[in-house]
Structure 1
């Protein structure tokens, strides 16, 4: 230090029995420095990067010259890079080589092509309007790849970035447009990203990129013409899902609703939190009694909802711990839209003000399950980034979640014109946002002529909540005088009581393997269109016209036989139900989950744990992760995958099983697989500075994770 060197000391809190503060303070003492670390932990319930122990701040002492701009490292977002194409990996990923010899995977910005079969676990069928078959999408993945090879193979392209997007995505891939010579005249003026959409090989990825409107127009044309992947798109015949009367609602990370001057009057509140809920104030209005979560302003055609309650992150298929499909969030929101709107048409959701990628905001990319619900009601759901009159024309409502960026006066004027023509606006707040973002949505509310506001608080409930998470309160505190709590389509009420009393997973024959389904209701139940599924997605459809009398049970055998009123036969040639554990799901004819049963009931019977991570090996094979079966029976890991935070993925070999109490070591390098050692066969994976091991089962669901 006396010779001009710098010393950086980095402390951390005592979480996980880490306590090195005294050691670091000793260093400061030996160097006769004036400062010491405080032995504490700083948390922030509101301004954080996802959790209170990750505080975020903009409170800088600008007397220090540490906050100015400087020349960056890596790719310059303002520069065009002319690069040769080294490989077309698939339709929306291309590898290029830069002048310095480095190679990068370019993620084709604004597009999403179907996943190949090997990556099927990453496909979200709900994102593809009017398409309900993963197998069909897989068949179109090769077409998209072939198109990319025919257009870009062996060519030199111009890589250009978008001002509205980062240079890299969350997985480290470069995001950009590729311009190429399509006509052969030597001019690289064709946008490959746009061509993918125009030619029907891709859907538009609803992030905040600046060409979103033009891409959406091209996608709509391709869909209307049935071009390529859209040949089997038929939204008008999409299955109805989840359209039941609204018995309960859940509100993740929600704020309450207030007015510009204080509390909201009861006459404007259709939904309150339960009386067990509490407010965590961030300078907001304190309610002495019931806490409103939804409020309406009929004169302004505006509603304010406290939280982003159509966030697909709370879907079980997306890794959430609890099945939320029985909650009435989707029909409630759709009823709310129709209650406020005086016109018909699409429902739009804003993605042009930074919501994509914000923890507290949603774009269309974050609400695909609600899109699929609306399809079943013959309503289109589209992302909108540019609030022009042309883009708003033909819509019935706009949903705006908490925006990191403010609306311009021109955008507000266009929204007011939209409202004056009968359109509705639903504003969704968040209880875990920044004051600036909350200010943006409240400024929009003011500009729309309503006095409703998102409150500066977070509503939690330790008693009435989803998955025992107080930050996801549930409620049945409704004012039923509002016409918001029926199924959106009349006559779709379930009114049934179905259970699975028995699962025989280990039969000596296929017909000794079965599931019993019981009608616990007081009247006969028509099971036409109902399905029985396992965790892997194998599906059995009950016969047309099959009815189950009140109190009766029908046994669904895996094998073949003659159907009767008490016994049905799947007709499979192989077993369905895993001996080591599985879940049986029964869905009704609207694809609502009617009941489910998981076995074994003790989770430890089928638990693969991360035992050890050695991230700092001297060779690739000295870098490894140990997985231990802590259960009492073997586990078939066929189709299971391991990933790191960067998205690098390893798939266990077909037929590989891990016995009870056994451990297998997954090395990063090369070698010959055995019962105790497996080999990734690549480069270094696990970051020495910290990383997370994610283990996904063969359905793509997160089984466990381990951070170091």
Structure 2
């Protein structure tokens, strides 16, 4: 047989053998992929290859390990452990390293103060999350699981971001990483630092008295959620048409659910980016009344106020606004 014919025959034989050897691998690989995509949450949590749903899985918090770590249960009864993305609360079981918390002295007083805030962060987590059904969300820039095989998550409860709340109250520092919400978290941390709020009071080596830190504000937030006092009742971030051409259709609505009028002079309302509006002297909200703060410009009335911003401010893709009284204490917050 000519050499060319022998070569062709050899190629054919090799292709047939390779095809036979490879054939089982195709169905096996496909079956594995399907199983991974459709596997129900279990001891391994949400499948790594499955894109999380837009609103994330709903789970029940069953144990608080510390301020930034907890155990939860899926609807099918399986459990897993989660670590909050982007935040780091002081240690309650090990030693704290003051050099991780900017400005906190590396002294016995500094370490003792941080331990106090580790306890307060854990107490806050138990008060707000334990036994509650919450929504988990993930981050495109971070792996699904961390070093100890814990799920890395954002937690949303009652419309608010728990991760963000820890930073805002000074109960945690921002944990340096590439997580997507870094800018808003760093802005909240900077405000907490400047106000000496929460653990940032440890820069003086002494915890703030209970009445001055954000732990006591928890009761206020809980009260507003049950209908007592001034609440953020609506955030309308997506103005009709082009946002920049309709700034006053970006607005926040406050509602007074209490039995008495409230003087809002000196109160502030801030968004996640740190833009802050201060309510002017003479601003009151009657019992049962609403007050709308528009982003753009206009003439203030008893029912409508104007921030005076020259560009869109509220984030259409998700926004958190925080309401504080004249002393800086947290009154209410709301997220979209």
Higher RCO (C-alpha 8 Å, min separation 6)? 2
Give TM class, smaller chain.
0.3 to 0.5
Task: Choose 1 or 2 for highest CA Rg.
Answer: 1
User: Comparing both structures, which one devotes a greater share of its residues to helix?
Assistant: 2
TM, length-normalised to structure 2: 0.45
TM, length-normalised to structure 1: 0.22
